[in-house]
Amino acid sequence: MEDWYISGSAIAGRGLFTAKTIEPAECILRFEGERISHEYTPEFAKIGSNWIGVADREWIIPASESPVLFLNHCCEPNVFINEHQEVIAAQVISAHSELLLDYSSTELDPYWSMKCTCNHPNCRKLIKSFVYLSAVKQLKYKPYISPVYWQSINHHFIP
């Protein structure tokens, strides 16, 4: 039996939920998909809304049946995606809670953005790539996300 399930979400239609209490740093699931590379451009940033950034100018396109596609965004996430393409808990997550990812933690493209609908009290209203997060938030996310974000962050320009 899986430790997660898909159900209705107040954030966006359907979401991914945990079937049991999850401990911090616990791997909830691992996903696969096609890996692609591309230069950052305003036009490219509008493509691939479900792609997950895994490196500078590299993304994974999850398989169409992947549960990772049901992770909704929240400006105060309880999960992250690490360098092993694993969804990991950032805190204790109670059984039957929605698993929420800050999409900024999986994107380095400086042209990418989307309107936020998380309705969290700390909502940023507009989600942009990791390079636009405050230094405080970047440091908060550091233990959970791929080290490649730290290796490449100084090489980005902000258009």
Residue pLDDT, tens place only, 7-37: 999 998 999 999 999 999 999 999 999 999 9
Are 90 and 78 within 8 A, CB to CB?
A: yes
| Spatial distance between the Cα atoms of 28 and 30, rounded to a whole number of angstroms | 7
Question: How is 8-36 classified by DSSP, letter by letter?
Answer: E-SSSSEEEEESS-B-TT-EEEE--EEEE
Range of the domain at 78: 4-152
Residues paired with residue 16 on neighbouring β-strands, in sequence order = 6
In contact, 87 and 27? CB cutoff 8 Å = yes
CATH code for position 101:
2.170.270.10
Domain count, the chain: 1
> pLDDT per position in the chain (159 positions), as tens?
688 999 999 998 999 999 999 999 999 999 999 999 999 999 998 887 789 998 889 999 999 889 999 999 999 999 999 999 999 999 999 999 999 999 999 999 999 999 999 999 999 999 999 989 998 999 999 999 988 887 766 555 555
Residue 158 lies in a domain: no
